[in-house]
């Protein structure tokens, strides 16, 4: 394994790390539900993109609730 001959000085190390800063995610407002959402992506809270319901989140939510209820009823029945 190659081993550095000299210890990297703190100034050089810090200069290298001066580019490592993170930036906060840029968020746009969803025109459908007004929630902050990443631009050019389907809104994660309402599933709309370019005025169309792409993910049908409400339908999926209703289906999941129905499934949950059915499971609960089955557990009670036993």
- Contact call for residue 42 and Zn ion (CB under 5 A): no
Among 32, 49, 53, 55, binds Zn ion (CB under 5 A): 32
Stretch that binds Zn ion, among 8-16, 20-28, 46-54, 69-77 (CB under 5 A): 46-54
**Dist. CA 56–CA 64, nearest whole Å:** 12
Closer Cβ to Zn ion, 12 or 31, answer by number = 31
Q: b/e string for 8-31 if b means 16 or more Cβ within 10 A?
A: eeeeeeeeeeeeeeeeeeeeeebe
Where does this chain bind Zn ion (CB under 5 A)?
Answer: 30, 32-33, 43, 46
């Amino acid at each position: 394994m190659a081993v550095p001959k000299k210890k990297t000085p703190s100034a050089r190390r810090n200069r290298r790390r001066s580019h490592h800063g993170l930036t906060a995610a840029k968020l746009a407002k969803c025109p459908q539900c007004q929630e902050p959402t990443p631009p050019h992506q389907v809104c994660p809270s309402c599933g709309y993109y370019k005025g169309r319901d792409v993910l049908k989140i409400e339908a999926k939510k209703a289906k999941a609730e129905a499934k949950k209820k059915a499971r609960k009823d089955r557990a009670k029945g036993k």
